Amino acid sequence: MLFRQLLDPDTSTWTYLLADPESGEAVLVDPVREQVERDARLVSELGLRLVATLETHVHADHVTGAWLLRQRLGSRILYPRPTGVLGADRLVDEGERVVFGRHALEVRLTPGHTDGCASYVLPQASLALTGDALLIRGSGRTDFQQGDSRRLYRSVWKQLLSLPEAMQLYPGHDYHGRTVTTVGEERRFNPRLGEGRTEEDFVATMAGLDLARPKRIDEAVPANLALGRLPADEAPRAEAPAA
């Protein structure tokens, strides 16, 4: 399997390209609007066909590149069903599979940062894309967009920290230059969620963070609920391939 980890430096957002070299089918997880040219160029350079873009949740810090990529490459737009997003080509539920060539991502719903968070697991490659639910030595915040600290603690332990210890975890963001962690590391060393930290400990920690409001939330959330389409966008839609 082909795997690429791509950074948007302005928002410290990780975008992930996964592809089956044999069939050429690829998926892109959490594309950023400002990086669409980069992502489309890479897909072309590697001789791939982008069949779908996937979101881990409705983002508050950046606008997704999903709509622009659909216009340009014909890729389908997939969102977790609990996001409530209208107009996506497919809404995915717990346990569903997103197939690209010989590979398939397994959908695991991980609410708590928002109602509509999902993580994507690829067991055959021993990796999981955790979005903002579980970060490297941290977690997504729970103070807006239906955030719920108790739900996040429970979903992370049930859906992610229950995976095999050696499984690699790739987060939606990292603000310290880190790229990857493992289930075993986060079980032991995550200061918010690791072993020995109870649900009550986590709730107290999250309540005391006092974080600044995301700078682009008023623009990003409405745009992402509209699949990343902005009012100024005008372009005919390309025919989307099956995913």
Give the 3-state secondary structure of residue 139: strand
Residue 220 lies in a domain: no
pLDDT of residue 119: 98
Residue 226 lies in a domain: no
85, 227 Cβ separation under 8 angstroms: yes
pTM of the model: 0.94
Can you say how many angstroms the Cα of residue 48 is from the centroid of all Cα atoms in its chain? 21
Residue 37 lies in a domain: yes
Residue 60 lies in a domain: yes
pLDDT of residue 234: 63
Residue 227 lies in a domain: no
Cα separation, 164 vs 230, whole angstroms = 41
pLDDT of residue 140: 97
CATH of residue 171's domain is: 3.60.15.10
Q: Number of structural domains, the chain? A: 1
Residue 237 lies in a domain: no
pLDDT of residue 136: 98
Residue 186 lies in a domain: yes
Can you say how many angstroms the Cα of residue 26 is from the centroid of all Cα atoms in its chain? 16
Task: Give the range of the structural domain holding residue 18, as residue numbers without chain letter.
Answer: 2-210
pLDDT, tens digit only, all 243 positions of the chain: 999 999 999 999 999 999 999 999 999 999 999 999 999 999 999 999 999 999 999 999 999 999 999 999 999 999 999 999 999 999 999 999 999 999 999 999 999 999 999 999 999 999 999 999 999 999 999 999 999 999 999 999 999 999 999 999 999 999 999 999 999 999 999 999 999 999 999 999 999 999 999 999 999 999 999 999 998 886 555 555 555
Structure token digits, residue 165: 């210890």
Residue 229 lies in a domain: no
pLDDT of residue 232: 83
Question: What angle is formed at CA 232 by the lines to CA 55 and CA 91, rounded to 5 degrees?
Answer: 25
pLDDT of residue 240: 55
